[in-house]
Chains A and B, each alone.
Chain A
């Protein structure tokens, strides 16, 4: 099975500061990677997904960006954080296998508080 590592686990940042959340995957190669965000008491919002190195698809226009510099590394960034960026950020990974892409594995999450 796959293991997803995320860091930092907890982050408190002032409004207007930059952000970098990192996700690495073990136990697989060429996965599809995802960033989700969960605001307090809400469901999961899909932010970005990637099918390969350098390939990023954005789901929701916002001041966040994602990059995939290596096969098993996925980074979420922002140049200037907003209060609304606070939330629980989850990285996920799965394999694409024809008609069924397989189980989605989630990391432990990074909790971001913007003050």
Chain B
């Protein structure tokens, strides 16, 4: 399985930007980079995904390094509701199924 490495925890202040890093040095050419987040006692929620180019949506931006060995999830203006565990995942296609193997993620704390 493709692996990712994320810091265990990060802390930021409300209304400030947050940059969540992810390393994936063993990424293959066809692996998509996915980000999910999980609030307490809930299932994970999709945030964003990308392959090579930077991506923007209403929730966040995804900056992908040119060599694709790392990426950064950017929350442009954090709110208290953004406090969650953020997972960076590489999709792995095996026998016709997309496998998303979640790591430990980064626990993001937002200070008021």
A-to-B contact residues, CB < 8 Å: 32, 34, 36, 42-46, 49-51, 57, 88, 90, 92, 94, 96, 99-109
Chain A's nearest CB lies how many Å from the CB of B58? Answer: 14
Residue on A nearest B30 in the bound complex, by CB: A99
User: Which B residues fall within an 8 A CB radius of A?
Assistant: 30, 32, 34, 36, 38, 41-46, 49, 51, 85, 87, 91, 93-105
Question: A-B contact count, CB below 8 Å?
Answer: 63
Q: Is the CB of B95 within 8 A of A51?
A: yes
Task: Evaluate contact between A96 and B98: CB separation under 8 angstroms.
Answer: yes
Given A46-B102, A101-B93, A108-B42, 13 more contacts at CB 8 Å? A43-B85, A43-B102, A43-B103, A43-B105, A57-B97, A90-B44, A96-B97, A101-B91, A102-B98, A104-B34, A104-B44, A104-B100, A109-B42
B102 touches A49 (CB 8 A): no
Question: Which residue of the partner chain, among A88, A92, A96, A105, contacts B96 with CB atoms under 8 Å?
Answer: A96
Dominant secondary structure of chain A at its interface with chain B? strand
